[in-house]
Structure 1
Amino acid sequence: MSHSAAPKDLADLRRFRFERVLNEDPLIHSIALLGTLSEDPEVQAIIRIEKTALDASDAPRLFAEDGLIQSVKLEQSTDIYTWFFGWFGEGRERDVKINVVCPATETHIRKYTKQTYVMVRETPELYRNVVKPYVAAFPASRTQWVENILQGISEQSKLLYSDSDFLILPDMKWDLKTVSSLYLVVLVQDRTIRSLRDLKKSHLPLLKSIHAQAEKVVSQKWGLGPGSLRMYVHYQPSYYHFHVHVVNANYEGGMLGMAVGQAHLLDDVISLLEIDSSEGDGVFQRMTLTYSLGSQNKLLENIQAHGGLPA
């Protein structure tokens, strides 16, 4: 192959001599490599590899006897949630991660259905009259998988840190392999904290400890230094047991869960509580919170039924 010729087949591509990784994007599952395709080391080449999207027309035969997915490996399972990695053939890298929810409730079906979003302005009154009763009515079964972890029934081999107040472990969305997309979750033992709305000044020691231990864990295990993490809390959260998301600051895929109005940085939460009064309701009980809700979300129906209007 001449210096100026582009590769024409797999034989040409096999001439590639890898030098280094230029970029990797966990969001779109791509990687860019620098190396050479010729015998002349001065003539460099860049090869970018991106996993292709799944075709919806292949859905009926994904798990058929002669279907696309040829093998799977169980990654983890807790209560109604199970995760696998799947392969389309022998000798391949993991092609897909397979998440299973079974048995799936109507709420789960709504959550995973494509929907439009509207902005909701949740005043303290709206929270007390509609949102708080909605959260209180959730059956314990919805967070049984969290209880299983907190009580030592499941996921104990994956714990990165544990004490009487909280524990840290890899989030189900992380592949446990790619540090650039590192994603951990912190689950607190205090069952009275359901969401951001329940936080008060008295919780400052807990939140500061979470911040410090998360930094310590990633420093010791993966060598990530100060400023390498983005820690945040969702409101509304996907489940009503207080937890903190801990992701690599360079993980762009995490932006899907960091939309304005949804993600609240742990540092900002701590700062607000530090300047808050220690008497009566705290800042998160007094402030109006604006966020988006999907059209399939039952909470949105409750808010609209109560006369609450989108922002």
Structure 2
Amino acid sequence: MEDKSAAESLISRFQIERLLNQDQSDRRIALLGHIDGKQGILIAERAAFATDSLEVLRAFHSSDNDIYKWYMANASSPVNGDYGSSPPDLKLNLIWPCTAQHIRKYSAQPVRMVTETPQIYREYIRPYMQQKREEGRLNWIFNILEGRTEQDDVLLRDKGDSPDEDGFLMLPDLNWDRKTISSLHLLVLVERRDIWSLRDLKRRHIPWLKYLRQRLIDATVKTYEGRIEEDQLKMYVHYQPTYYHFHVHVVNVMLEAGQTQAVGKAFGLENIIGQLEAIAGDDEAGMADVSLSYFLGEASELWSTVYEPLKKGEKL
């Protein structure tokens, strides 16, 4: 109850500053605000979001990991003072305290398609990844991997043949309501820390990737037995990812394909395996040796510090 009260108090203390973004179907909005003088981002999702319901948000279930918190909530008024009498119709994600990078990520902005050559990756993107990892932004992932937070949510923890290299765990994604199978979205975090993104994948990783793929399919079908089948699942990784620790998304193929699943953001796991098999060279040849095209928001650091100057012919 103390945790519940503390979680609810954060939502009630959230002071809205401005709307960052709203999707075209009005199912998801991102709001910038502050709690106790520290900026935060509140993301709310529902089937048909009513903006006049902001005053009656009330959380009754929550999870907390570092700066990331999520809630299930009601947007309707209580019945005789009892919020528990009606099912939750909102999923709230709170990032607090948030960083300038979070604000850029969730703000509405024009996007650009860029092509990252092996040279650009080596000279500019890899050092950028190193910098972000050293800033401590992976603490929430390590909290989960090392058993400090969200352990009740872990659906599968597989140590594999070699815990240092093959282990992984699977849990519900922050954006899934955990009950609607048609919008199933699971997140897979690998134990190994030498793979930051798909750029680190090499031909020698093909057996591991195939093992990982099959274990994820088997575990998902078993966990939701009778509700989903193998050919109703798809798996992908993001590039550029939000955080530089290799992870895989497992979703229902019926999940509405928003920007996170769009071409230029999501790379299918099966396609990555196939591309690695087709790459010429020895076992050390891999995804760092090919050019990749993807989109970036104009507010992103990579656009403003790397690709825009390159486009203008400026020296970085």
Counterpart residue number, 2:310 = 307
Identity of aligned residues (%): 37
Q: After superposing the two structures, state which structure 1 stretch, 198-207 or 171-180, moved more.
A: 198-207
Kept after mapping to 1: 8 A contact 2:170/2:186: yes
Q: Is 1:235 matched with 2:239?
A: yes
Distance 1:51 1:185 in 2: 22
Q: Deviations over 1:127-160 (max 9, x none)?
A: 1111111111113421110000111111111111
- Partner in structure 1 of residue 262 of structure 2: 259
Tell me: CA distance 1:115–1:105, structure 2 relative to 1, closer, same or farther (3 Å).
same
Is the partner of 1:137 in helix, strand or coil?
helix
- Indicate which of 237, 240, 250 corresponds to 1:246: 250
More helix by share: 2
Within a 5 Å distance, the mapping from 1:98-177 to structure 2 comes to 98-138=92-132, 139-162=134-157, 163=159, 164=163, 165-177=167-179
Aligned counterparts, 1:165-244, within 5 A: 165-223=167-225, 224-244=228-248
How many aligned positions are there?
254
Secondary structure of 1:98's partner? strand
Secondary structure, in 3 states, of the residue corresponding to 1:207? helix
- Structure 2: where are the runs of 5+ without partners? 1-24, 28-45, 79-84
Q: Deviation at 1:236?
A: 0.7
Give the conservation status (yes or no) of the 8 Å contact 1:130–1:306: no
Separation in 2 of the partners of 1:52 and 1:251?
16
C-alpha deviation, 1:184, in angstroms: 0.5
Take 1:302 and 1:217, find their aligned partners in 2: how far apart are those partners?
41
Instruction: State the distance in 2 between where 1:285 and 1:308 align.
Output: 22
Which residue in 1 is equivalent to 2:49? 53
2:271 pairs with one of 262, 268, 271: 268
For residue 309 of structure 1, report the CA deviation from its aligned partner.
6.6
Shift in CA distance, 51/246, structure 1 to aligned 2, threshold 3 Å: closer
Residues 263 and 248 of structure 1: CA distance in aligned 2, closer, same or farther (over 3 Å)? same
Deviations 1:252-303 (A, max 9, x none): 2x44311112111111111122233452752411111111000110111121
Cα separation, partners in 2 of 1:185 and 1:82, compared to 1, 3 Å:
same
Q: What TM-score, normalized by structure 2, do the two folds share?
A: 0.75
Distance 1:279 1:268 in 2: 19
- Give distance in 1, aligned partners of 2:121 and 2:71: 38
Letter in 1 for 2:109: Q
Contact 1:186-1:210 within 8 A present in 2 as well = no
Give the gaps of 5 or more residues in structure 1. Answer: 1-26, 30-49
Taking the aligned partners of 1:106 and 1:156, their CA distance within structure 2 comes to 29
Return closer, same or farther for 1:132/1:157 CA change in 2, 3 Å cut-off: same
Aligned to 1:89: 77
